[in-house]
Amino acid sequence: MAAPLTPAAPDVLSELRLVIVEGIMGSGKSTTMRFIAKSLQDANRPALPVHERTDPHPVRATDEFEHWFQPWLDTTPAQLAARSAARWASLVEASLADGTIRIMDGQLFHGDLTNLFLMEADSATLSGHVRAVAKTIAPLKPLVVYFRQEDVEQALRTVCEERGADWVAYQVEWKLAAPYSTQRELMGLEGLIALYRDYRRLTDELFERLPLDKLAIENSKQDWPAYQGLILQALGLASVLPDRAPV
């Protein structure tokens, strides 16, 4: 478990317009997104949770394609990165106009960046995309919460066991058909684990260089009251909602 890498300012709530919850699949993004939205709403802040299954999604550019789950069939990495950046710009405009704090289930990493990775975009495209998005969303004074588990294999095996064989087959069929996977001949659950090891190395590096307020939490122990307390502190809500802080 880690403390904020960039401490939030005392008046964070007066300027905050965006929270992004990141991590690999099954890391707790969706549940935490809802927790943050509810906490902000209880503190009388206008908050809008944006689930990854929101349709239409405000920033996910692949929704526009015929093969939304196989964008490599419809576009190039450069074109996808440009579409994604334009969508983020529209989100910033909307958020500044209505004053709502949007809480995103992924999308900085777990979204179009994942697709760029699967399309085997080069490192300059991947890092350039995240830098461009970070610069675009900076006016929203965002906080990025990043869940990570030291043991990627164990984390994936746990979520695969929880979600069942059909879900695992879906993930394998989708992600291991991508250029990144086929070039490396990744197959089955072991191939999916190898894919996510590479992906997590990428997102670790991108997160470390991210020029935004951010909070990294190693959540393998599943101590959610403690993790939620860290998030409330980073949001400036620990004193506003003291009943939710861990004892």
Q: At 74, which CATH number?
A: 3.40.50.300
Distance in angstroms (rounded) separating the CA atoms of residues 99 and 33: 18
Specify the pLDDT at position 12: 65
Please indicate, yes or no, if residue 119 is contained in any of the structural domains: yes
233 closest CA partner among 244, 222, 223: 244
Flag whether 2 is in a domain.
no
In a domain, 65, yes or no: yes
Residue 72 lies in a domain: yes
Range of the domain at 220: 12-244
Q: Is residue 152 part of a domain?
A: yes
Residue with tokens 């190039």: 76
Residue 134 located in a structural domain: yes
Beta bridge partners of 147: 217
The ranges of the chain with pLDDT < 70 are 1-12, 241-247
At 162, the amino acid letter reads E
3-class DSSP assignment, residue 146: strand
What is the reported pLDDT for 82? 96
Q: How many domains does one find in the chain? A: 1
Model pLDDT, residue 245: 55
Confidence (pTM): 0.92
Assigned domain for 1 exists? no
Residue 130 has what pLDDT? 98
In a domain, 50, yes or no: yes
Bridge partners for 22 per DSSP: 146
Q: What pLDDT is attached to residue 7?
A: 42
